[in-house]
A = this chain, B = another copy of it.
Amino acid sequence: MAVTLRSSAADFEQRFAAFLSTKREDSPEVDLVVRQIIADVRARGDAALKELTLKFDRADLNRIGIAVGPDDIAAAYRQADPETIDALKLARDRIFSHHQRQMPKDDRYTDAIGVELGSRWTAVESVGLYVPGGLASYPSSVLMNAVPAKVAGVGRIVMVVPPTGGEINPLVLVAADIAGVTEIYRVGGAQAVGALAYGTDTISPVVKIVGPGNAFVAVAKRQVFGKVGIDSIAGPSEVLVVADRDNDPQWLAADLLAQAEHGMGAQSILITDDEGLAADVEQAVAAQLKTLPRPQNAAESWRDFGAVIIVGSLDEAPALVDRIAAEHVELAVADPEAFLKKIRNAGAVFLGRHTPEVIGDYVGGSNHVLPTARSARFSSGLSVLDFVKRTSVLKLGPEQLRQLAPAAITLAKAEGLDAHGRSVSIRLNM
């Protein structure tokens, strides 16, 4: 049973603040182990990868190889259901189209005194994409990470995935092929991150590493950050549904459970101004849980982290939405566009009663890698911008230098940087 908070209660602010600061994931102390694994990969390269993969994934890379080859891809296509392959291609096309619009444009202009300024965007040279093994080995996540890199123009897109018991989900290989991944290796965990950052005989190093992973992978990414770029560290998933009374409680319950079934700290929240709807949704959640083939994750997440927040009026909701700053926000209200204008902190917003968040997970076209754990207050979902970087450009002629020199020299002097001043004055015989 999820917690219920009423904004009319005297202790609401206190309870809401406590709810916001609920910790939803463990941070096991794996720093030292990860450091040793990465050091081992740096020192022994492929040999370390083989040994660690035998130990952690029970797979013999001497037999099946580190690199996934064209034959493996072809075999994966044969194992995959044709309808699923088509769905992946539809998703790829929609993600590609949407992300093409995110490509930033170069800017170059001359200002009033003749100084030329500019911003120039270029793709990072290479990207490593981590894909988890086992149950969380999602082909949709392969698309969501690889397609924006492809759109950005990244030349090398290198995927690593642990061969759990020797096996890789064939749909992950198919998705990688469909997305344009250029190299695939059978390696996971901190050892994969170490290999991507520092390279081995088989795996050339990359410039940036993205993609979700377990605690070992997350810590490894933090440790190699600086040597390479990383994306943000993904936390447990969240959905916040804002609903007026004119909703089918079954629909809302289904949306809350879709998020909850991710388990591992996933959180589903309903905000409504209608006590009756709130009760109906809670009943519908309970009823639908009974019909799920694998209800355990969803039941535990709803019980431990689920919340129903009842407000006196939906006018109170935008402030709460911004404080929650959820990864996904569904606006199941009469005028979602008007509501959207009143909020600022959300990873992705799904407008209206016919836009379940799940569409965004797969085929909406927008990215499903989004800021979690309230980080939508300061960060954004994955986009083409994560695979490009900007170089600023400045160009002065003698006349512009003469005009700007006095101020530059004054400031250099004020900061006690004599050589800075001279670098300007020496060009002017000042």
Residues in A lying within 8 Å of B, measured CB to CB: 81, 83-84, 86-88, 90-91, 94, 97-98, 101-102, 104, 107, 109, 111, 115-117, 119-120, 122-125, 135, 138-140, 171, 207-208, 226, 228-229, 233, 250-251, 254-255, 257-258, 260-262, 288, 292-294, 298, 336, 340, 344-367, 370-371, 373, 375-381, 383, 385, 389-398, 400-401, 404, 406-408, 410-412, 414-424, 426-427
A257 and B347 in contact, given A355-B401, A401-B355 (Cβ under 8 angstroms)? no
| Chain B: minimal CB distance from A98 (Å) | 6
- The answer to whether A423 touches B294 (Cβ under 8 A) is no
Overall SS of chain A's interface: mixed
Most chain B CB inside 10 Å of its own CB: which residue of A90, A358, A365:
A358
What residues on B are CB-neighbors of A410 within 8 Å? 83-84, 87
- The answer to whether A354 touches B401 (Cβ under 8 A) is yes
Residue of B nearest to A293 (CB): B418
- The answer to whether A389 touches B379 (Cβ under 8 A) is yes
A414 and B233 in contact, given A117-B98, A122-B344, A354-B398 (Cβ under 8 angstroms)? no
**Which of B292, B350, B398 is close to A418, meaning CB atoms less than 8 Å apart?**
B292
- The answer to whether A101 touches B90 (Cβ under 8 A) is no
What residues on B are CB-neighbors of A88 within 8 Å? 411
> What are 6 sample pairs from A and B whose C-beta atoms fall under 8 A apart?
A124-B378, A257-B423, A349-B392, A356-B423, A359-B394, A364-B404
Q: In whole angstroms, how far apart are the Cα atoms of A302 and B236 in the complex?
A: 48
- The answer to whether A347 touches B391 (Cβ under 8 A) is yes
- The answer to whether B376 touches A389 (Cβ under 8 A) is yes
What residues on B are CB-neighbors of A383 within 8 Å? 119, 390
What residues on B are CB-neighbors of A344 within 8 Å? 122-123, 125, 391
What residues on B are CB-neighbors of A124 within 8 Å? 377-378
What residues on B are CB-neighbors of A404 within 8 Å? 359, 363-364
- The answer to whether A351 touches B116 (Cβ under 8 A) is yes
| Chain B: minimal CB distance from A65 (Å) | 26
| Chain B: minimal CB distance from A171 (Å) | 6
- The answer to whether A392 touches B347 (Cβ under 8 A) is yes
| Chain B: minimal CB distance from A139 (Å) | 7
Interface pairs A-B: 7 shortest CB-CB: A229-B378, A351-B395, A87-B407, A380-B390, A258-B423, A366-B392, A122-B344
- The answer to whether B396 touches A359 (Cβ under 8 A) is yes
- The answer to whether B411 touches A117 (Cβ under 8 A) is no
A394 and B261 in contact, given A207-B378, A363-B411, A408-B359 (Cβ under 8 angstroms)? no
- The answer to whether A87 touches B401 (Cβ under 8 A) is no
What residues on B are CB-neighbors of A411 within 8 Å? 84, 87-88, 91, 139-140, 361-363
| Chain B: minimal CB distance from A147 (Å) | 14
- The answer to whether A391 touches B348 (Cβ under 8 A) is yes
Q: In whole angstroms, how far apart are the Cα atoms of A229 and B325 in the complex?
A: 13
What residues on B are CB-neighbors of A119 within 8 Å? 101-102, 383
What residues on B are CB-neighbors of A120 within 8 Å? 340, 349
Residue of B nearest to A97 (CB): B111
- The answer to whether A109 touches B101 (Cβ under 8 A) is yes
- The answer to whether A261 touches B419 (Cβ under 8 A) is yes
Given contacts A123-B344, A139-B411, list 10 more A-B pairs with CB under 8 A.
Answer: A120-B340, A207-B377, A251-B426, A254-B419, A258-B422, A260-B419, A293-B418, A348-B394, A361-B408, A366-B392
